[in-house]
Amino acid sequence: MLVLGIMSGTSADGMDVALARISGAPPNLNTKLLGHTSKKFPPALRREILRIAEQQSISAGELSQLNFRLGELFAAAALSACRTFRVPPSRVALIGSHGQTIFHQGRPIPYFGSPTASTLQIGEPSVIAARTGITTVGDFRPADIALGGQGAPLVPYADYLLYRHEKFGRVSLNLGGIANITVLPRAAKPQQVFAFDTGPANMLIDALVTHFTRGRRRFDDDAHLALRGRSIPALLNELLRDPYLKLPPPKSTGREYYGHAYLKRVLALGRRHGAKPNDLIRAATIFTALSVVDALNRFVLPKTRIHQLIVSGGGAYNPLILAQLSAALPGIEVLPSSRLGLPEDAKEAFAFALLAYESFHQRPANLPSATGARGPAILGKISYAPPR
């Protein structure tokens, strides 16, 4: 099957689209990335997504409208990708759309007298199926939460298929809005794989850059700003006292924790330490790397020998993060995912193509050891294309 995967992450900067050729069934699943591209959200719509993801008020009608509008945008991105790849939509069998997360509460909290966990991704899959003529799988996370899992992370299923190695212990690190790791012990069986979100990645850095440049820049290209800042060890030490870092896995996080309120705390922290804008951007960049190192030292390396750290996501292009990871993890090779054949900004979209393929074949694709679910779950909901 030819399958398109569409991913929009917590940074809400746009849609990544990957085209994969997939055949067979685990453990003999054959996959090949045929192409990947990305498309930005209109700036005003991105601001609205971020506003809602920060839990600011919205009416039911506005939420409904945004759900369908995003469905149109995801469909347009899929059709644009088909033109880019020179593949007619009629040849594509399936689309897997992650949707745009606007709320994620992986751990149950009290709600009307009962502990409740929930997650909400929007971008109506029925609209995608109708506009593209391609059957679409969406809403992947709730099936895992319904079985007591956190609904995240789900990409470890793809990490296992892509990076499991008979001789090397590996960690797959994705640096999107949030940083997450998948731990793959040498010759791992599925139940030995575990994964969790380590803390913020681009989300905090991007928020600081946007704040200090008044929106003229949205990210720190090649760490230019961070590299011009000075190090303030006391400030970094305070960031590293973040209570989330100490929570044991399975755990997941997002904009609900590392959003606007967290940004305000970091800005206040910067003022207390006399940090200039570039100093604070530098501290957030190094904090991203060291929070990953902290997670590895705290929860992974005491029990698992790791030989390689494979880095993907937008943060893989940040030289300061990569340098900090290499310096703080002696004996572990830090390498970008492109060295193993998968471009850094294609992996998550590629992963949701894989998950859609498994869902369509009624096979489970969560890893309970990663999400904390009571057992395997067949993920996603299928929106069939209109009859041709």
**260-272 vs 202-212: helix axis angle to the nearest 10?**
70
Q: Are 122 and 66 in contact (CB under 8 A)?
A: yes
Give Cα separations from 210 to 74, 202, 207, 302 (angstroms).
25, 12, 5, 38
Please give the structure tokens belonging to residue 127: 């609209």
Please give the structure tokens belonging to residue 259: 């959003």
β-partners of residue 23 are: 30
Break the chain into its structural domains and give their ranges.
Answer: 2-151+346-383, 157-340
The reported pLDDT for the residue numbered 13 is 84
* Residues 2-151+346-383, CATH architecture: 2-Layer Sandwich (3.30)
- The residue to which tokens 């030819």 are assigned: 2
Q: Are 350 and 20 in contact (CB under 8 A)?
A: yes
Please give the structure tokens belonging to residue 155: 């990409």
pLDDT by 10-residue block (mean), the chain, 388 residues? 94 92 92 96 93 91 97 98 98 98 94 96 98 98 97 94 95 95 95 94 95 93 97 97 95 90 96 97 98 98 97 95 97 95 93 98 95 96 95
Task: Give 76-117 pLDDT, tens digit per residue.
Answer: 999 999 999 999 999 999 999 999 999 999 999 999 999 999
The reported pLDDT for the residue numbered 10 is 81
pTM value is 0.91
How big is the CA angle at 379 (ends 384 and 108), to the nearest 5 degrees? 130
DSSP reduced 3-state for 185:
coil
Q: Kindly report the length of the chain.
A: 388
Expressed in percent and rounded to 5, the helix, strand and coil fractions of the chain are 45, 25, 30
* Residues 157-340, CATH architecture: 2-Layer Sandwich (3.30)
